[in-house]
Amino acid sequence: MNAFAEIRLVASRELARLRTRMFLIVTGGMMALIVGALIALKLLGGSPALAVGFADSATRAQVVGVTEAAGLEIEPRTVTDEAAGERLVSDGDLDALVLDGPLRLVVKDEPDDDLRGALTGLARQIALDAELTGAGLDPNAVAAAVGRADVEIVSLEGTDDLREQRIGLSVGLSLILFIVLQTTGVLVAQGVVEEKASRVVELLLSAVRPWRLMAGKVLGLGLVGLVQIGLVAAAGVTAQVATGVLGISLGALLGTAAWALLWFLVGYTIYALLYASAASTVARQEEIGGVTAPIQILLIIPYMAAFTVLPADPDGPAARVLSYIPFFAPILMPVRGAFGAPWWEQALALLPALLTIGALIWFSGRVYTYSVLRMGGRVSLKEALKGR
């Protein structure tokens, strides 16, 4: 059997995890969390539209104009007359009724503050127009002149109208990537130790070379993680399209998701190789925590930086330096991408990451080959690299 066939055989064995209850629960939970968060933001992001009745079409057009300008959402409804409108307000079918000549607002108890403010401004504008007309001036010309008056804003650092949404997206990305990278890495470590402790690895290595066994395990669990993060990303994109709560275009969202998937593959490969080589040096599940603790720290550092350093200044020196470190880039580069980092920066950061993967393939392959069959005490890194 050639190398490709052996790796594929081992990988297919790991793909059986896709049907396990744990995979379904964890994946379903993350999908529900993302969708639920977006729906909650949509529901909590603003007040429901006010049902406002009008008996006069001209008044309706004026009120709709001022409420839109004020950012207030109303649902205009036409009523036959004043009495019918008041009955609808009294019954709770309308939140308010607007009447003309003079402008009046009919409510059941207390009026909405924003609606009252918008109508107060409209009433004052109507009164001003009447005074201007009486003085022989054109209200439209005066309004146009007033409308042209504005304050020029000069921002030394630029503005970002979607900053809060980008922060939310970056937090979600870093959390998902951290969870999936950590989960799949631990699965690799547990699988290696489980096979070693049960002596199954001896049977496997009688038919498969050590590096092929490790490659198949890493590949299989990587595909499991890719399916998991792909499902979560699809759920998030679908929920965003349905709610529009983040205010980010579909193209930008798909681009962010694509880069996140690519960086997951890079990050998974880096950390899976580290977890596999570290786990091969011990023979008991209880020892996994000790040998993988440094790897956990490598994951925690970029995760914490995604919450602290990047939101404050995503293009600052600290953010740039950290995001180019191969062990940190898989979490930090997608987050910087969510903040608008150009594609070429992400592509440039791939180079040291891919070089690191090449070095880790040699390093992890050597450690795994000379440690996985060693029973008893923990194998030191020096012994594993020397092959004895």
In a domain, 153, yes or no: no
pLDDT tens-place string over residues 265-278:
999 999 999 998 88
Q: Which of 123, 148, 173 is the C-terminal boundary of a domain?
A: 148
Q: Are residues 345 and 214 in the same domain?
A: yes
Q: Are residues 108 and 205 in the same domain?
A: no
Whether 184 has a pLDDT exceeding 60, the answer reads yes
In a domain, 156, yes or no: no
Whether 157 has a pLDDT exceeding 60, the answer reads no
Sign of the torsion angle spanned by Cα atoms 50, 52, 57, 62: negative
Q: Are residues 130 and 25 in the same domain?
A: no
Average of per-residue pLDDT across 110-131? 83
CA dist 140 → 64, 126, 148 (Å): 18, 12, 12
- Band of pLDDT at residue 388, cut at 50, 70 and 90: low
Q: Are residues 79 and 110 in the same domain?
A: yes
Whether 158 has a pLDDT exceeding 60, the answer reads no
For residue 224, give the nearest of 26, 2, 7 by alpha carbon.
Answer: 26
User: What's 109's domain CATH number?
Assistant: 3.40.190.10
Res 149: pLDDT? 66
Q: How many CB atoms lie within 10 A of CB 329?
A: 24
pTM of the predicted model as reported, rounded to 2 decimal places: 0.68
In a domain, 157, yes or no: no
Structural domain span for residue 138: 50-148
pLDDT tens-place string over residues 255-267:
888 888 899 899 9
| Ramachandran angles phi, psi of 290, nearest 5° | -65, -45
Q: How many CB atoms lie within 10 A of CB 56?
A: 15
In a domain, 331, yes or no: yes
Q: Which of 120, 148, 176 is the C-terminal boundary of a domain?
A: 148
In a domain, 361, yes or no: yes
Q: Which of 148, 174, 191 is the C-terminal boundary of a domain?
A: 148
pLDDT tens-place string over residues 63-97:
888 888 777 788 888 888 888 888 888 888 888 88
Q: Are residues 212 and 291 in the same domain?
A: yes
Res 352: pLDDT? 95
Q: Are residues 262 and 294 in the same domain?
A: yes
Whether 161 has a pLDDT exceeding 60, the answer reads no
DSSP codes, 284-318: SGGGHHHHHHHHHHHHHHHHHHHHHHHHH-TTSHH
In a domain, 155, yes or no: no
Res 348: pLDDT? 94
- Band of pLDDT at residue 162, cut at 50, 70 and 90: low
pLDDT tens-place string over residues 348-365:
999 999 999 999 988 888
Q: Are residues 25 and 78 in the same domain?
A: no
Q: Are residues 199 and 261 in the same domain?
A: yes
Q: Are residues 240 and 370 in the same domain?
A: yes
Determine the distance from the C-alpha atom of residue 234 to the mean position of all C-alpha atoms in its chain, rounded to a whole number.
Answer: 11
Q: Are residues 143 and 174 in the same domain?
A: no
What domain count does the chain have? 2
In a domain, 154, yes or no: no
Whether 165 has a pLDDT exceeding 70, the answer reads no
Q: Are residues 190 and 108 in the same domain?
A: no
Q: Are residues 28 and 135 in the same domain?
A: no
In a domain, 237, yes or no: yes
Residue 227, burial from CB neighbour count under 10 angstroms (0-12, 13-18, 19+): middle
Using DSSP, state whether 132 is helix, strand or coil.
helix
